[in-house]
Amino acid sequence: MADRYLHLTGTAPGRFLTRRLGLPQPAPLRRWTLETPHLDGPLLHLTAGASAVTGVAEALRTSGLTVTERADRPAAIVLDATGVATAAGLGDVHAALHPVVRSLAPGGRIVVLGTVPSPDDHHQAAAQQALEGFVRSLGKEIGRGSTVQLVRIPVARIPGGASAHAAGSTLRFLLSPRSAYVSGQVIELTSAAPDSGSGPTPITDPAAPLTGRTALVTGAARGIGAAVASVLARDGARVIALDVPGAREELESTADRLGATALPLDITAPDAADRIAAAAPDGLGVLVHNAGITRDRRLANMPADRWASVIEVNLDSVLRTTDELLKAGTITRGGRIVATASIAGIAGNTGQTNYAASKAGIIGLVRSLGPRAAAEHGVTVNAVAPGFIETKMTAAVPLFIREAGRRMNSLSQGGLPVDVAEAVAWFAQPDSTAVNGQVLRVCGQSLLGA
């Protein structure tokens, strides 16, 4: 379902009229294409006070942008605020960004680097937590399709200080058109290096970082799952696209288009994990739990079968297949599990007690299993939490609620399936080892659950 309002505000009379009426002004977002893989302009690297980490300049270079300490019209600004440890030090954040924020190009990126608030130093914790409020507010006011995020770099347990080395894949994603619909997010990197013990796995082919890995995507016949399969295939993975046997025709046509293998299978089948393992004899490098259903009713009107089917597809099958595939060693060391939550699992939603429970359950799963899966299997576990994404699922939403869903976020528009897929691909990167137990909202900084 096309966003006609976005089209209208892209015309001069439409812009004039909607401005006069005080209506939202969504800026068209620029997504990744082969021809335009990078933001259009330099990256301004600033530091608030003194940095507490090493390796920031090296990590920034992975973005492919020209890094500079002075620029008239930067496409991105990275503020290293890792050394801000007092309330007074927050003045350095203001002093660094206040003079340059207006010069950021439309569709620009601001990334603030912080560290984890300390449980032992409440002044440092206050200052570092303050960055979260700062980033979320700037994301709401910056406009023109620009985004703002906070990346927390862990404090080193090793002598020699913390390093931003492990932040490479995260900065590459956030400082690119791939993260067009991600804003107001806080990403906390871990210091553990599950797959090698010595830091992130290097990428041999930057254009196809997933070469040699097999990725299985559930619910891949259409919508977000088809976009995930497509982006993972673009990044070089061999893709197995799974969907219910009832969607076989659509699944096969999606798989054919992507050069993927179709696996018609209901993910709730008792032997689903065995069937997946049989389809991937060399193991899986990436497992994406995307299949999901809604069966909306208010709790008072919800029969047990509607409750049970949603919990079964969206949560129980994810828990079961994850456990079985990890136990069997089907997910190889250095592997990536990505599950699909929803902002409904964070904010709650009328008529969706079953759905929101299942999606909040995914968040619980990811946070609990992430550190253990890393320690025991060398596998990371993360989730995307999409907001309003333009798919068949949201096209079925009544018009008024659909319009509200589209506009109630900092970018004043819905996201596209590819926006979620790019976030999944970031989790799946071989050098995303330090990204674990995270839930990334892909919601344009939705007001729901903010």
Active-site choice (307, 355, 426, 427): 355
CA distance 345 to 292: 13
Q: How many residues sit in the footprint of ligand NAD (CB under 6 A)?
A: 27
CB atoms within 10 A of CB 229: 31
179 binds ligand NAD (CB under 6 A): no
Alpha helices in 64-190 (DSSP H): 90-97, 122-142, 168-174
Per CB under 6 A, which region of 44-52, 73-81, 137-145, 388-396 contacts ligand NAD? 388-396
CA distance 160 to 172: 25
Judged by beta carbon, residue 418 or residue 435, the one nearer ligand NAD is 418
- Dihedral sign of CA atoms 152, 153, 154, 155 in order: negative
392 binds ligand NAD (CB under 6 A): yes
CB of 142 to ligand NAD, least distance (A): 24
CA distance 310 to 326: 23
List the x/- string, 306-335, binding to ligand NAD by CB under 6 A: -------x----------------------
- With CB under 6 A as the contact rule, the residue among 388, 407, 436, 439 that binds ligand NAD is 388
292 binds ligand NAD (CB under 6 A): yes
CB of 73 to ligand NAD, least distance (A): 34
Query: Residue 331 has which token pair?
Result: 């997910």
- With CB under 6 A as the contact rule, the residue among 41, 334, 370, 386 that binds ligand NAD is 386
Q: Please give the distance of CA 358 from its chain centroid, rounded to a whole number.
A: 19
168 binds ligand NAD (CB under 6 A): no
**C-alpha distances in angstroms, 184 versus 110, 149, 294, 379, 389?**
10, 5, 27, 27, 17
389 binds ligand NAD (CB under 6 A): yes
Judged by beta carbon, residue 65 or residue 383, the one nearer ligand NAD is 383
- With CB under 6 A as the contact rule, the residue among 43, 233, 267, 277 that binds ligand NAD is 267
The DSSP annotation for 281-327 comes to TT-EEEEEE-------B-GGG--HHHHHHHHIIIIIHHHHHHHHHHH
- Beta pairing partners, 112: 79, 150
- With CB under 6 A as the contact rule, the residue among 150, 215, 239, 244 that binds ligand NAD is 244
CB of 62 to ligand NAD, least distance (A): 29
CA distance 331 to 340: 18
Per CB under 6 A, which region of 74-82, 164-172, 323-331, 382-390 contacts ligand NAD? 382-390
CA distance 136 to 140: 7
Q: Which of 427, 352, 418, 348 is nearest to 384 (CA)?
A: 427
Per CB under 6 A, which region of 101-109, 280-288, 325-333, 385-393 contacts ligand NAD? 385-393
Per CB under 6 A, which region of 10-18, 218-226, 346-354, 431-439 contacts ligand NAD? 218-226
Judged by beta carbon, residue 170 or residue 290, the one nearer ligand NAD is 290
CB of 244 to ligand NAD, least distance (A): 5
Judged by beta carbon, residue 193 or residue 393, the one nearer ligand NAD is 393
Q: Known catalytic residue: 355? A: yes
Judged by beta carbon, residue 142 or residue 224, the one nearer ligand NAD is 224
CB of 181 to ligand NAD, least distance (A): 11
Per CB under 6 A, which region of 96-104, 180-188, 195-203, 243-251 contacts ligand NAD? 243-251
**C-alpha distances in angstroms, 185 versus 135, 138, 438?**
8, 11, 11
Q: Locate tokens 């207006």: which residue?
A: 102
Sheet holding 261-264, edge to edge: 261-264, 238-243, 214-218, 284-289, 331-340, 380-386, 439-442
Q: Which residues contact 258 (CB under 8 A, 6 or more apart)?
A: 229, 230, 233, 239, 241
CB of 309 to ligand NAD, least distance (A): 9
340 binds ligand NAD (CB under 6 A): yes
444 binds ligand NAD (CB under 6 A): no
101 binds ligand NAD (CB under 6 A): no
Q: Which of 270, 190, 446 is nearest to 343 (CA)?
A: 446
Q: Locate tokens 């401005």: which residue?
A: 19
- With CB under 6 A as the contact rule, the residue among 194, 219, 285, 430 that binds ligand NAD is 219
Q: How many CA within 13 A on the CB side of residue 254?
A: 29
- Residues with a catalytic annotation lie at 355
Site residues, ligand NAD (CB under 6 A): 218-219, 221-225, 243-244, 247, 266-268, 290-293, 313, 340, 342, 386, 388-389, 391-394
